[in-house]
Amino acid sequence: MNHKARHLTAKDIPLAFPLLQLLHADATLSEWEQYAWSRIEPDPEPPALPLPSKRGIVIAENAGGYLQGMFSYALRPDAFRGPALHCDQFVALDLIGVDSPLNVLLDKAEHIARDCGGARVDFHLSDAFFSDVPKRSRLHQVLCSTGHQIHSFRYGKALG
């Protein structure tokens, strides 16, 4: 099965809620709706050439139209490495171990970053997917001993 990635629309908001719940089990539909509405652009009237948006939510759907992945994004300045497309709320289902929307989501993030003039893509991934990662650094130990907890992992890629 092939996936396609596209921007979330108003009609997709309730359909994408189960994906968000994989990352935030205690989130309410109302919280998700408020967050999603803050990230999506209203449909232009009359239709115009779309300019790259500096914030949004991307969803991945399979050939049957079922949502199987998403991420939200915002372009953020970085004085030393150039603007970065900051991606979070990232989830990609791998339902049968063969077919995953992961690659189409990663490709879409890079295209959006380039279209927006970004120099890199940064993914902040939920600890829901990495709870068994070894945590051996001194910095980790100090942060945890003072009450900090891991909530995400960050991966970055320069677009050169």
Q: What is the pLDDT of residues 124-150, one digit of tens each?
A: 887 766 655 556 666 667 767 878 777
Residue ranges covered by each domain of the chain: 3-158
What pLDDT is recorded for position 129? 65
Fold of 3-158: Aminopeptidase (3.40.630)
Return phi, psi of residue 156, to 5°. -130, 150
Give Cα 11 to chain centroid, integer Å.
Answer: 19
Asked if pLDDT for residue 70 goes beyond 80, the answer is yes
Q: What is the pLDDT of residues 12-58, one digit of tens each?
A: 999 999 999 999 999 999 999 999 999 987 655 545 555 568 899 99
Return phi, psi of residue 12, to 5°. -85, -15
Distance between CA atoms of residues 111 and 113, nearest Å: 5
Where do the H-state alpha helices sit in the chain?
Answer: 13-23, 29-39, 102-115, 138-145
Q: Are 50 and 89 in contact (CB under 8 A)?
A: no
